[in-house]
Amino acid sequence: MVVANKYEMVCGLEVHVELQTKTKIFCSCTTEFGGEQNTHVCPVCLGMPGALPVLNREVVNYAIKAGLALNCEIAEFSKFDRKNYFYPDLSKNYQTSQFDLPICGKGGLEIEVDGEKKWIGITRAHMEEDAGKLVHSGDTITTSNESSVDYNRAGVPLLEIVSEPDMRSIPEVLAYLEKLVQILEYTEVSDCRLEQGSVRFDINVSLRPMGATTLGTRTETKNLNSFSSVRRCMEYEIARQARVLDAGEKVVQETRTWDEGQGVTLTLRSKEEAHDYRYFPEPDLAPLVIDREWVERIHKTLPELPEARRARLQVLGLSAYDAGVITQSKALSDFFDAALSSYEDAKTLANWVMGDVTRLLNTNQCSVVDSPISAAQLAELLGLIDKGTISGKIAKSVLEDMYSTGKDAGVIVKEKGLAQISDEGALLGIIDDVISANPQSAEDYRAGKDRAIGFLVGQIMKATKGQANPGLVNKLLKEKLS
């Protein structure tokens, strides 16, 4: 990004993802969100003296799976370390994390911004425990005389994914985050509920004069949990740093916090007074030896990732845009694939899924996984159109009935007598009636006014309550008038 043509921004990200295990990383307390305070706790996650952690196998499985999906090297040997700091969000005065031997090494993913493809490197990804939640008595931490602590979240497994400082614009940052979250959602290692804090972003950003090759001084803004906050926070922070540099001053290397209400970043702590974490190997946990068979076993469980799905849908005739919309979420993409297994015309299916089905779900604030219309039911409905049993227009109203009643399309068509009239004899009778009732229109058509036929078709559709097969009506009417 060029800031007033003077500066280039450089950005790297740390993303914390809560892994979707049933239990915490080092104890068998539930990871369920939102329980009554301090009820999902035990001596291990409360840091009671003498309590010993035992690593959850599923955390390692998910970390390997995410690492593979992000093209990371998977370590053959990995261990945990203690990151020491005093802060009451963890009761032990250290966080069990990974320092020099993380489970995932170098990887990366490809983003696309304005048609330009770019590789964003991932430095590493490591496993660690989440911290508890603090509720401050005052407005902010610095003005509070005391704080309340809930340790339900303490010990929930996290994967921290660290990117290289490869991003040069806000659109690149957002493209990277969207792609990353999409991959995590597809691999089902996390529920990716951003509004519940399942995924949190730390942004490292610096500016440097255009053309410079060395990096400027960076700031780190912690704990954002939505794409829109990331965008607003970066706009603010880049403008702030540009003002500092324009004034001939130096950017202070520090940790900042985003104030959503005021739309500003504020100093949390400067690096000079930052903690020296004194990492050392966690003596209470045995190291991990990950043989290649284990990695291979996880590799086999990887689902088709969004990029591969998009490519497959484009081969079936969807535009790049449509394929992108369908694969935006795994739930919608799965729904589409399920329908595709019993209805072959991908393009028509995509139009219905992106159009009427999505509209019905949105209107009713229903997610696609809870859709009262199943993929198979949608496929049956579209099959009825292709067979000529109902018209596309009637199908739209049948779809709405399916949504409200949960009944199959065929049942609704039968119950309501909606089947299209494709019986030539029956239609010819109606056509004769309409022509004799509108002699002028028939005359106009014969005189070369093609538009007059539209009126006649309209009258026939009206007479049949929209149930006449429109293609057949057109054909028969033209024959009759010629």
Among 14, 30, 164, 411, binds other proteins (CB under 8 A): 30
CB of 93 to other proteins, least distance (A): 9
60 is a site residue for other proteins (CB under 8 A): yes
Nearest CA among 1, 368, 332, 15 for reference residue 178? 15
- Count of residues engaged in binding other proteins, rule: CB under 8 A: 57
What distance in Å separates the CA atoms of residue 146 and residue 162, rounded to the nearest whole number? 33
275 is a site residue for other proteins (CB under 8 A): yes
147 is a site residue for other proteins (CB under 8 A): yes
Between 274 and 305, name the residue whose CB sits nearer to other proteins. Answer: 274
Q: Which amino acid would we find at residue 340?
A: L
285 is a site residue for other proteins (CB under 8 A): yes
Binding mask 72-101 for other proteins (x = CB under 8 A): -----x-x----x-xxx--x---------x
146 is a site residue for other proteins (CB under 8 A): yes
Between 7 and 26, name the residue whose CB sits nearer to other proteins. Answer: 26
CB of 11 to other proteins, least distance (A): 25
What distance in Å separates the CA atoms of residue 395 and residue 455, rounded to the nearest whole number? 23
Q: 121 φ, ψ to 5°?
A: -75, 145
CB of 48 to other proteins, least distance (A): 8
Nearest CA among 215, 218, 24 for reference residue 132? 24
Could you write out the DSSP letters of every residue in 307-352?
HHHHHHHHHTT--HHHHHHHHSSHHHHHHHHHHHTT---HHHHHHH
40 is a site residue for other proteins (CB under 8 A): yes
CB of 37 to other proteins, least distance (A): 5
Between 138 and 406, name the residue whose CB sits nearer to other proteins. Answer: 138
292 is a site residue for other proteins (CB under 8 A): no
Binding mask 105-134 for other proteins (x = CB under 8 A): -----------------------------x
CB of 230 to other proteins, least distance (A): 23
CB of 195 to other proteins, least distance (A): 23
| Footprint on residues 309-348 left by other proteins (CB under 8 A) | none
Nearest CA among 142, 156, 146 for reference residue 196? 156
Among 29, 156, 251, 340, binds other proteins (CB under 8 A): 29
Q: Which amino acid would we find at residue 134?
A: L
Distances in Å between the Cα of 439 and the Cα atoms of 381, 420, 445, 462 are: 38, 26, 10, 17
**Gap between the terminal Cα atoms of the chain:** 66
CB of 147 to other proteins, least distance (A): 5
Give me the residue label for tokens 């309590």. 51
Please list, residue by residue across 139-164, b when 16 or more beta carbons sit within 10 angstroms of its beta carbon and e when fewer do. eeeeeeeeeebbbbbbbbbbbbbbbe
Distances in Å between the Cα of 233 and the Cα atoms of 16, 113, 242, 372 are: 18, 20, 14, 39
Nearest CA among 267, 231, 236 for reference residue 252? 267
139 is a site residue for other proteins (CB under 8 A): no
Give me the residues that bind other proteins (CB under 8 A), please. 21-23, 27-30, 36-43, 46, 48, 54-60, 77, 79, 84, 86-88, 91, 101, 134-135, 141-142, 144-151, 268-269, 273, 275-276, 278, 281, 283, 285-289
